[in-house]
Chains A and B, each alone.
Chain A
Amino acid sequence: RKEVEQDPGPFNVPEGATVAFNCTYSNSASQSFFWYRQDCRKEPKLLMSVYSSGNEDGRFTAQLNRASQYISLLIRDSKLSDSATYLCVVNGNTDKLIFGTGTRLQVFP
């Protein structure tokens, strides 16, 4: 089983739609969780951290479910500019950050 697994997509959604991505992780001892965003031909950048209580940043909501070992990202009112690849990141043993392979989102007009 991969340490971090994501559906590669692509998710094709119209502007204004709500879309959700899930990511599962295998290490029950993981303590830190993040969502990164990667635009085409650019380096990944932090989108948001994922806290135990869940957190929201504008149109973006992140949730953590420790019992089932998954994290989620919800994007409301999708914009064309949200088109990107979203990477799930979890810390493993020795604090090494482990990146999922990403979920591609394409928002169309």
Chain B
Amino acid sequence: GAGVSQSPSNKVTEKGKDVELRCDPISGHTALYWYRQSLGQGLEFLIYFQGNSAPDKSGLPSDRFSAERTGGSVSTLTIQRTQQEDSAVYLCASSPARGAYTEAFFGQGTRLTVV
């Protein structure tokens, strides 16, 4: 079956422009995560969606970052007025319904370069 799909795989944008990154989770997965990873660094948590609950936005680094999840499926991460420090790989992961030992499956990421 299909895994987590992210698009685009690569995005180059000019400083100050807005970008949208898309994540298609595995069908039926209720949990969805966004992370970002700078070169040589660990995963930085951004936001977590779980079913119909209010999202956990505690990791969003500034108000330029926002994310939504429509119909409990596809998610879009939006970065407004991009800055060079936003350059990173943005990873999306999804996970089945809550419970013990429900692993997260990652997409291949979107590599964002702000020039």
Contacts from A to B (Cβ < 8 Å): 8, 31-32, 34, 42-46, 49, 87, 89, 91, 94-102
Contact = CB atoms under 8 A, between A and B. Distances in A.
Contact of A43 (B42, B99, B107): B107
A2 B106 CA distance: 23
Interface of B: 31, 33, 35, 41-43, 45, 48, 50, 53, 56, 91, 95, 98-104, 106-109
Taking chain B's interface residues, is the majority helix, strand, or loop, or is none over half, making it mixed?
Answer: loop
B31 A95 contact: yes
B106 A44 contact: yes
8 tightest Cβ-Cβ pairs between the two chains A and B = A101-B42, A43-B106, A95-B98, A99-B43, A46-B103, A32-B101, A31-B100, A96-B48
B102 to A, nearest CB: 7
